[in-house]
Amino acid sequence: MSSVLIKNGEIITATDRYFSDILVQDGIIKAIAPSIEKPSADTRVIDAKGHFVFPGAIDAHVHMELPFMGEISADDFETGTAAGVAGGTTTIIDFVIPSRNQPLLDGLAQWKEKAKKSVSDYAFHMAVTWFGDNTAKEMEHCVRNEGITSFKTFMAYRGAIGVDDTEMIRVMETAKNLNALVTAHCENGEMVVSLQNKLFNEGKVDPKYHAQSRPAPLEGEATGRAIMLARMTGVPLYIVHVTAKEAVEAIDEARRRGQVVFGETCPQYLLLDDSVYDQPNFEGAAYVMSPPIRPKEHQAPLWAALKSGIIQTVATDHCPFHQGKQKILGRTDFRKIPNGAAGIQNRLSLMYTYGVLEGRLDLHQFVEVNCTRPAKIFGMYPRKGAIMVGSDADLVIWNPEKEDVISAKTHLHKCDRNIFEGYKTKGAPTWVLANGKVQYDEGKLNVERGAGRYISRTGM
Q: What is the pLDDT of residues 49-83, one digit of tens each?
A: 999 999 999 999 999 999 998 899 999 999 999 99
**Which pLDDT tens digit goes with each residue over 1-42?**
689 999 999 999 999 999 999 999 999 999 999 999 999 999
- The model's pTM: 0.98
CATH code linked to domain 4-54+388-418+425-445: 2.30.40.10
Domain boundaries, the chain: 4-54+388-418+425-445, 55-377
Residue 157 is predicted with a pLDDT of 92
Q: Is the pLDDT of residue 127 over 70?
A: yes
The pLDDT, as a whole number, for residue 2 is 80
Q: What is the mean pLDDT of residues 345-354?
A: 98
What pLDDT digit, counting tens, does each position of 214-237 carry?
Answer: 999 999 999 999 999 999 999 999
pLDDT-based confidence at residue 159 (cuts at 50, 70, 90): confident
Q: For residue 1, what pLDDT is reported?
A: 61
Query: In CATH, what is the architecture of 55-377?
Result: Alpha-Beta Barrel (3.20)
> At 44, is the pLDDT very low, low, confident or very high (cuts 50, 70, 90)?
very high
Cα–Cα distance for residue pair 130/161, rounded to 1 Å:
7
pLDDT the model gives residue 459: 75
- Residue-wise pLDDT tens digits, 369-416: 999 999 999 999 999 999 999 999 999 999 999 999 999 999 999 999
Q: What is the pLDDT of residue 378?
A: 98
- The 3-class secondary structure across the chain, one letter per residue, is CCCEEEEEEEEECCCCEEEEEEEEECCEEEEEECCCCCCCCCCEEEECCCCEEEECEEEEEECCCCEECCEECCCCHHHHHHHHHHHCEEEEEEEECCCCCCCHHHHHHHHHHHHCCCCCEEEEEEECCCCCCCHHHHHHHHHHHHCCCEEEEECCCCCCCCCCHHHHHHHHHHHHHCCCEEEEECCCHHHHHHHHHHHHHCCCCCCHHHHHCCCHHHHHHHHHHHHHHHHHHCCCEEECCCCCHHHHHHHHHHHHHCCCEEEEECHHHHHCCHHHHHCCCCHHHHHCCCCCCCCHHHHHHHHHHHHHCCCCEECCCECCCCCCCCHHHHCCCHHHCCCCECCCCCHHHHHHHHHHCCCCCCHHHHHHHHHHHHHHHCCCCCCCCCCCCCCECCEEEEEEEEEEECCCCCCCCCCCCCCCCCCEEEEEEEEEEECCEEEEECCEECCCCCCCCECCCCCC
pLDDT averaged over every residue in the chain: 97
Q: What is the pLDDT of residue 460?
A: 67
Measured distance CA(87)–CA(267) in Å, rounded: 14
- The whole-number pLDDT of residue 158 equals 83
